[in-house]
């Protein structure tokens, strides 16, 4: 690469045809490669090469900014670009490639020789490579040598590579006539632009040192690659082989940016409390390939302005320990570039910290009479649960600093445990959030993942607090008796700290890694049985048994809540369907035998659907038997000669019928039952013989 004339690039270069931007000497740009020719260039030249020479390629730009480039470009470029598009389209359709066409394509092009400093491959969403290329110098295409598998051309170097290693004092000076005057004017304009940018003092000093260290002849390329300008203007700078012409092309671009900043400063009042920065430049200097914008800061205030995050951190009113951690993470965020993967992780962490309700809470409604009325309207019976809620409200009136109780509603399915929790939240005037724990077998669902893991996130408790936006909601831990256990830990053990009033004031989520106060949260757990709840967890909760409903209670619930809801859901009016209490009792006793009212609601829904069909067809609805009762066969056995004993089930579930035959003094039991049932059988036998 060296000769008597100085440092030289290889005379034969593979060409990278790109439409993503213009690579100027001295700048670094990322290019995405997915076309067949460019893919072959990367795989066969860059990845298989073992020398520095193999990493040098030629970049031929073919791009236009549709919004900013007009049709007033030179005829040479217009013919070249039009032919380039037609050529690629023609070859894509007909797969015809000729060297003469490529020769015509490249004869009027000037490209940039660059060195590939990084190659990254990916298969999503389709196979492609991402190249990080640093521009070295200009070249022109002399002839094309081959087109497959990638384009290889004979090139002629137009710039001197020594200019990037020459000290600034040895480059163009003011004594060089018109060129020297242009160089000095361009340098002064660049310094003026740098002083107008709203950046910190260390960043400005670093840019100034960079500006002073560069040779003057490199300034047009470097500055044109940094400021926002159209691709057409960058192509004009690239095509300017003469240094004097290059200064003339780049100086108006720089002057336009200065005039725009002056106008912006006149029309906008800059306030220290509300920073509307003009240019987003991070600490650490200019990043290769980043095109700095003089207009994009206001468009992306949350994306680049760390000052906005800092204001949110100070306005979140978080505890001192959490504030100290946030300020530490914010300091790290300011120092790292946006391209780092850890930047997004830190930004997401800070966003979560400022969105958590550290001190925001809702005011409780402590009117006991209104609470009693609301609970009675929402639910029939359940006197024990209602009394416990009213007791909590009464104590809160006397002592406002009362910690939230940990309640556990235990009862059969369908008795309204979940709906009672929602009614309690409405009674207290608090936000309600339900967390389904059925089948959860990972303790990270409760306590979150540590931030060192990929895809880490906070646990359900912290996520729930972020969702409701207050620190005193009502959390319903549904199906707490159905928690699992796996190699990822025991979620029931993770709930010990959450459901302990003596510890949950400093609950620490693994993702946050800072204590959060859960003492104001009202936790309500639901379960069907306490047999599967670990004793340590059960000991931390106040268990309230929710028994099944009696037949009279089911009838009242059906006429108060179920029938009106089903009529509304099916578009019927009370005049179109009336279900008397006797019919409701028949449905309960002959069609549904359960502790709750879910099956009863489904049967009422079936009646509403049948009536809806009749109403839609215009038929008159009459009273008739819908179907045979499901237990009619079992009821019919009562007419046989067998002695049938009805056993009362403690859980309010199905009524158990036990049958046996008596022959002399021998007692034959028809099912496998406990010894206590044998006593019932013998008592029934004595009663039968006494008649």
Binding region for ATP: 411-418
476 vs 385, 408, 480, 512, 689, CA distance in Å?
15, 10, 10, 22, 55
What phi, psi does 152 have (nearest 5°)? -120, 130
Q: Rounded to an integer, what distance in angstroms lies between the CA atom of residue 469 and that of residue 515? A: 17
Residue whose pair of structure tokens reads 């039009």 in the numeric block: 82
Query: Cα–Cα distance between 306 and 265 in angstroms, integer?
Result: 22
246 CB-near residues (< 8 Å, 6+ apart): 220, 221, 237, 240
Q: Which residues are annotated as a binding site?
A: 411-418
Other CB atoms within 10 Å distance of the CB of residue 267: 7
**Residue 288 has what DSSP assignment?**
T
What 8-state DSSP symbol labels residue 68? T
> What element of type H or E holds 119?
strand 110-122
Backbone φ and ψ of 620, nearest 5°: -85, 135
Picking from 489, 409, 499, 513, the residue whose alpha carbon sits closest to that of residue 441 is: 489
Alpha-carbon gap, residue 481 to 438, rounded angstroms: 8
CA angle at 407 for the pair 596 and 535, rounded to the nearest 5°: 95
How far does CA 676 lie from the centroid of its chain?
58
Helices and strands in the chain, H and E counts: 25, 18
C-alpha radius of gyration, the chain, whole number: 40
Tell me the three-class secondary structure of 387-447, residue by residue. Answer: HHHHHHHHHHHHCCCCCCCEEEEECCCCCCHHHHHHHHHHHHCCCEEEEECCCCCCCHHHH
Q: Which residues contact 688 (CB under 8 A, 6 or more apart)?
A: 643, 662
Quick one: which of 169, 214, 173, 168 has its CA closest to 194? 214
DSSP 49-65: --SSGGGEEEEEE----
Contact between 657 and 681 (Cβ < 8 Å): no
Q: 3-state class of 137 per DSSP?
A: strand
End-to-end CA distance of the chain: 122
Q: Give the span between the Cα atoms of 320 and 238, in whole angstroms.
A: 55
**Whole-number Å distance between alpha carbons of 284 and 293:** 17
Q: Are 615 and 576 in contact (CB under 8 A)?
A: yes
d(C-alpha 657, C-alpha 670), whole Å: 10
Separation between Cα atoms, residue 139 and residue 6, nearest integer Å: 15
The 3-class SS string of 527-555 reads ECCCCCCCHHHHHCCEEEECCCCCHHHHH
Q: Could you count the other beta carbons within 10 Å of the beta carbon of residue 534?
A: 16
Whether 244 contacts 183, CB under 8 Å = no
User: Is 644:681 a contact under the CB 8 Å cutoff?
Assistant: no
Contacts of 466 (CB under 8 A, 6+ apart): 352, 355, 356, 357, 458
């Amino acid at each position: 690469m060296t000769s008597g004339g100085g440092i030289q690039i290889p005379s034969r270069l593979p060409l990278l045809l790109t439409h993503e931007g213009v690579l100027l000497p001295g700048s670094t740009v990322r290019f995405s490669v997915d076309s067949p020719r460019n893919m072959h260039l990367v795989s066969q030249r860059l990845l298989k090469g073992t020398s520095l020479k193999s990493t040098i390629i030629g970049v031929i730009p073919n791009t236009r900014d549709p919004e900013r480039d007009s049709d007033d470009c030179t005829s040479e470029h217009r013919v070249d670009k039009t032919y380039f598009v037609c050529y690629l389209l023609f070859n894509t359709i007909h797969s015809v490639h000729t060297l003469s066409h490529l020769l015509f394509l490249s004869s009027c092009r000037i490209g940039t020789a660059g060195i590939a400093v990084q190659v990254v491959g990916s298969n999503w969403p389709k196979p492609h490579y991402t190249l990080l290329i640093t521009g070295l110098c200009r070249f022109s295409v002399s002839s094309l040598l081959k087109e497959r598998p990638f384009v290889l051309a004979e090139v002629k170097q137009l710039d001197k590579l020594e200019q990037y290693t020459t000290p600034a004092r040895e480059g163009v000076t003011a004594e060089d006539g018109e060129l020297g005057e242009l160089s000095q004017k361009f340098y002064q304009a660049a310094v003026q632009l740098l002083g107008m940018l709203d950046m910190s003092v260390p960043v400005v000093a670093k840019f100034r040192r960079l500006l002073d260290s560069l040779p003057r002849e490199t300034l047009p390329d470097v500055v044109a690659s940094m400021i926002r300008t159209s691709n057409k203007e960058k192509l004009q700078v690239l095509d300017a082989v003469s240094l004097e012409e290059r200064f003339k092309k780049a100086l108006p671009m720089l002057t336009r940016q200065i005039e725009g900043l002056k106008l912006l400063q006149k029309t906008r009042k800059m306030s220290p409390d509300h920073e509307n920065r003009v240019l987003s430049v991070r600490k650490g200097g200019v990043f290769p390939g980043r095109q700095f914008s003089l207009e994009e800061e206001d468009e992306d205030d949350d994306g680049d302005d760390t000052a906005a995050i800092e204001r949110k951190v100070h306005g979140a009113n978080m505890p001192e320990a959490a504030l100290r951690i946030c300020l530490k993470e914010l300091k790290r965020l300011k120092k790292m570039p946006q391209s780092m993967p850890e930047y997004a992780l830190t930004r997401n962490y800070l966003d979560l910290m400022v969105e958590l309700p550290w001190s925001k809470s809702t005011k409780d409604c402590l009117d006991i009479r209104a609470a009693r009325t609301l609970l009675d309207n929402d639910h029939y019976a359940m006197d024990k649960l209602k009394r416990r809620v009213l007791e909590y409200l009464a104590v809160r009136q006397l002592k406002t600093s009362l910690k939230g109780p940990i309640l556990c509603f235990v009862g059969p399915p369908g008795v309204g445990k979940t709906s009672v929790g929602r009614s309690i939240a409405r009674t207290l005037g608090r936000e309600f959030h339900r967390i389904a724990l059925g089948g959860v077998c990972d303790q990270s669902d409760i306590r979150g993942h540590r931030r060192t893991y990929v895809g880490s996130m906070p646990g359900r408790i912290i996520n729930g607090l972020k969702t409701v936006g207050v620190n005193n909601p009502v959390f319903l831990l549904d199906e707490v008796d159905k928690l699992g256990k796996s190699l990822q830990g025991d979620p029931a053990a993770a709930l010990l700290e959450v459901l302990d009033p003596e510890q949950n004031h400093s609950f620490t989520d693994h993702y946050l890694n800072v204590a959060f106060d859960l003492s104001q949260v009202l936790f309500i757990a639901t379960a069907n049985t306490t047999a599967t709840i670990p004793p340590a967890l059960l000991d931390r909760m106040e268990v309230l048994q929710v028994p099944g409903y009696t037949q009279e209670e089911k009838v009242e619930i059906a006429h108060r809540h179920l029938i009106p809801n089903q009529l509304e859901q099916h578009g019927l009016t009370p005049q179109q369907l009336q279900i008397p209490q006797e019919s409701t009792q028949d449905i309960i006793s002959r069609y549904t035998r359960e502790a709750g009212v879910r099956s009863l609601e489904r049967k009422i829904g079936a009646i509403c659907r049948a009536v809806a069909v009749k109403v839609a067809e215009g038929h008159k609805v009459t009273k008739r038997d819908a179907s045979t009762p499901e237990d009619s066969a079992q009821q019919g056995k009562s007419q046989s000669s067998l002695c049938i004993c009805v056993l009362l089930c403690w859980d309010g579930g199905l009524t158990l019928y036990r049958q046996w035959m008596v022959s002399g003094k021998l007692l034959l039991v028809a099912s496998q039952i406990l010894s206590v049932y044998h006593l019932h059988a013998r008592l029934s036998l004595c009663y039968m013989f006494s008649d």
